A and B are shown apart, each in its own frame.
Chain A
Amino acid sequence: MTSLVIAEHDNASIKGATLNTVTAAAACGGEVHVLVAGHNAGAAAEAAGRIAGVAKVIHADAAYFEHGLAENVAAQVLALAGDYSHILFPATASGKNIAPRVAAKLDVAQVSDITRVDGPDTFERPIYAGNAMAVVQSGDSVKVITVRTTGFDAAAASGGSATVQKVDAAPENGKSRFVGQEIAKSDRPELTAAKVIVSGGRALGSSEKFNEVMTPLADKLGAALGASRAAVDAGYAPNDWQVGQTGKIVAPQLYVACGISGAIQHLAGMKDSKVIVAINKDPEAPIFSVADYGLEADLFQAVPELTAKL
């Protein structure tokens, strides 16, 4: 029984979500191998070898792996799949994109977004926006899984000394082409990995107000900025700040929700945070039912005051 973790990387370094996925893979039992499919990704492969608990790194290099197109990466995983009992991806945009493609080609069911490993074939996963937890058992010979990163601790990024084995790249699919990207630049911690998140909702009223009120608080706390869908749809914050069922799932030490009512879909993305603070002027807002500390106040006064007092 051996597990294969598909590393998420930017060709130079390994992304944090990979570390949580390694922990989940170790929980499935057996050795853990990591696949780094990339372009000039030697540095990422070496970094993968240093992750504690990893026995072997498989490195496939080809120009067409550079942007992680699903068709090409899935082909590479399939070329290796015969040796593994478990194939695990982080449940990130990239992992969710590729994993079902691999599962369908192997004719096995995929288990999405697992939050716990109960046994080599039994996993827990949230359904209905996290309002119920299902324990599912897979009878398939290979388990293809995506791992909710907030459900597992990160494996140590150093201390391992796995060998890096180069393999031939699977042939290019050629039916899709990367055209370009717009990646939002930010000096802040990554949303899904941040210890503290301050999040704003529709009540902020405009993107100027969002920046004016929320940014100083985030700076003071060294926090990542998040937003509700209402704030994102209204254009107050960029799409990739959205926290919720259909955005990012986060579980920081401290989550400060400002002017967010707390719809089911938003709670699905943050209710596993250790401490939740809600600032809202509506005493009936559902967010208060999950908040450890609720402050019933106008956020335009309370948030600057909070920033000043920290």
Chain B
Amino acid sequence: MKVLVPVKRVVDYNVKVRVKSDQTGVDIANVKMSMNPFDEIAVEEAVRLKEKGAVTEVIAVSCGVTACQETLRTAMAIGADRAILVETSEELQPLAVAKLLKALVDKEQPQLVILGKQAIDDDCNQTGQMLAALCDVPQATFASKIEVADGKARVTREVDGGLETLEVSLPAVVTTDLRLNEPRYVTLPNIMKAKKKQLDVLKPEDLGVDVAPRLKTLKVTEPPKRGAGIKVPDVATLVDKLRNEAKVI
């Protein structure tokens, strides 16, 4: 069975982003970009399923600018077999990405699509669910454990208050939570090998998808700053301040 793994190129999670002074967005010129951390977990899980023999082929997909090819090469260095880039310089919102992925699902017919639960740039947490809806297949979001057997996937999900286990019939869409696995480090030989793997480039028009943004961003601002705090010398002073100054205990 085939697995499709969508990956997104985002600002590296260690970078503290700055809002542009004209309030049109966040300044991402010259900042370090990497694969969205949840997507790394998704690729790792797909590769592990392949190593277990449950999966025959892992296809990594990314939508966006030409530089997303680097992200796809990383996915192939982890162990994806080939990659597809849907290239566009347009701003892509989750609904547009879900539609592009739907077109690719129709083409490639994977039994499982594994996505990250959210991208750390737009923090939307929508694409996987939207893709499941468009393909009319079941979804298992926020997965911390995945077992595939007999045309079904048994998925343990992280929910408020604890864990929940679902069984979904395949084909299905799964989104990963942090604790699903620990992604492996890519090794130099694998990076070299990944350069030789197949990477197809398509355009949204080839898939017949309109990717025009549906939400308009009016402005982007800095969040309100917290007033500077103070350091207290000892516990007694802390208790006194909390009681008499902040009045919270």
B129 near A100 (CB under 8 angstroms)?
Answer: yes
A179 touches B218 (CB 8 A): no
Q: Mark A230-265, 1 if CB is under 8 A from B, else 0.
A: 001100001110000110100001100000000011
**27 chain-A/chain-B pairs, Cβ below 8 angstroms:** A67-B164, A69-B166, A71-B138, A71-B139, A94-B159, A100-B126, A104-B95, A108-B95, A109-B94, A113-B125, A127-B26, A128-B11, A128-B26, A129-B123, A133-B221, A136-B215, A136-B216, A139-B215, A175-B172, A176-B138, A181-B164, A233-B178, A233-B179, A293-B231, A293-B232, A295-B234, A309-B239
Q: Does A161 contact B (CB under 8 A)?
A: no
B223 in contact (CB, < 8 A): yes
Q: Is A132 a contact of B223 with CB atoms below 8 Å?
A: yes
1/0 per residue B55-95: CB within 8 Å of A? 00000000000000000000000000000000000000111
Residue contact A109 to B218, C-beta cutoff 8 Å: no
In the complex where A129-B120, A175-B168 touch, is A294 in contact with B133 (Cβ < 8 A)?
Answer: no
Q: Is B241 an interface residue (CB 8 A)?
A: yes
B235 at the interface (CB under 8 A from A): yes
- Of residues 1 to 41 in B, which have CB atoms within 8 Å of A's CB atoms? 11, 13-14, 16-17, 19, 26, 38
- A134–B214 touching, CB < 8 Å: no
Q: How far is the CA of A257 from the CA of B181 in the complex (A)?
A: 27
Q: Using A70-B141, A240-B160 as known contacts, say yes or no to A132 and B17 having CB atoms under 8 A apart.
A: yes
CA distance A102 to B98 in the complex (A): 13
A1 at the A/B interface (Cβ < 8 Å)?
no
Write out, one digit per residue, whether chain B residues 120-159 have a CB within 8 A of any chain A CB (1) or not (0).
1111111111111110011111101000000000100111
Among A51-59, A79-87, A202-210, A270-278, which stretch is in contact with chain B? A270-278
Asked if A97 contacts B141 (CB within 8 A), the reply is: yes
Q: Is residue A165 within 8 Å, beta carbon to beta carbon, of the partner chain?
A: no
* B contacts with A: majority SS: mixed
User: Are the C-beta atoms of A128 and B238 separated by less than 8 Å?
Assistant: no
Residues in A with CB closer than 8 Å to B109 are none
For B157, the chain A residues whose CB sits under 8 A away are 93
In this complex, how many residues of chain B approach chain A with their Cβ under 8 Å: the count is: 81
What CA separation (Å) do A177 and B166 show in the bound complex? 6
Contacts of B139 in A (CB 8 A): 70-71, 97, 101, 176
Query: A-contacting residues of B (Cβ < 8 Å)?
Result: 11, 13-14, 16-17, 19, 26, 38, 93-95, 98, 117-118, 120-134, 137-142, 144, 154, 157-169, 172, 177-179, 213-223, 226-227, 229-232, 234-236, 238-239, 241-242, 246, 248-249
- Segment from A22-30, A32-40, A284-292 that makes contact with B: A284-292
**Interface pair A290/B162, CB less than 8 Å apart:** no
**B37 to nearest A CB, angstroms?**
9
Determine whether the beta carbon of B236 is less than 8 Å from that of A309. Answer: yes
Q: Which residues of A contact B226 (CB under 8 A)?
A: 271, 276, 290, 292
